[in-house]
Amino acid sequence: MMVLALRLRSLPSAVVYGSTTGVYGDCSGEWIDETRRLQPQTARAQRRVNAQDWVNHLGKSGFPRTQVLRIPGIYAIDREGGTPRERLLRGTPVLQSQDDVFTNHIHADDLARAAVLCLWRGKSLRPLHVSDDSDVLMADYMDMAADLWQLARPPRISRAQAQTALPAMTLSFMSESRRMQNQRLKTELRMKLRYPTVREGLQGKPVF
């Protein structure tokens, strides 16, 4: 983990750290809240757990308010690499339905709003899911995007075929399935999502 040292006149009133939902590992498609036990299954996710522990240690040591955000896939149509368009154009396969995994998302604008709200309304040492209301399998998400942009739907393959057809990084995202509950986001931050699901986000049509 990279640590930045800042020379400040005084301590900040709040520290908000953006982690990942990957800290939970595979949850077999279950709905999970922030009390779920952490079971990182990749070195990348374990580094995020270590960083969370460091931030929580600050909070327990008398440091001003600290909060960890657990963030899924960030997307936006005006963000470089922020949509599956390039993957669709390449024709990258997705998993067939019986092997597929649930995937979670947050629009970049909603993530930014949540981070700002945490500075004012967040509760110290209380992790928070910053995830939208989507309830969608990865392949269905890709099909939705293809239909919206009038592109060919990606081919579907078995998990066994994916082991040889897809790169390791892509496979890692296809090996964990979970659905994120976001009640704390709505009740504690009192936040209304501008892009409640990926459909509004991929269309660039906020609800307000």
Taking only the tens place, the pLDDT of each residue in 117-131 is 999 999 999 999 999
Res 198: pLDDT: 98
Domains of the chain (ranges, CATH numbers): 14-203 (3.40.50.720)
Q: Between vectors from CA 192 to CA 189 and to CA 195, what angle results, nearest 5°?
A: 130
Phi, psi of 196 (to 5 degrees): -60, -30
In whole angstroms, give the CA distance from residue 125 to residue 123: 7
pLDDT digits over 164-176, tens only? Answer: 999 998 898 899 9
| Residue 47 near residue 1 (C-beta atoms within 8 A) | yes
pLDDT given for residue 49 in this prediction: 98
From first CA to last CA, the distance across the chain in angstroms is 38
Low-confidence ranges of the chain (pLDDT < 70): 1-9
Residue 129, burial from CB neighbour count under 10 angstroms (0-12, 13-18, 19+)? buried
- Identify the pLDDT of residue 9: 67
Q: How far apart are CA 61 and CA 74, in angstroms?
A: 31
Residue 140 C-alpha from the chain's centroid: 17
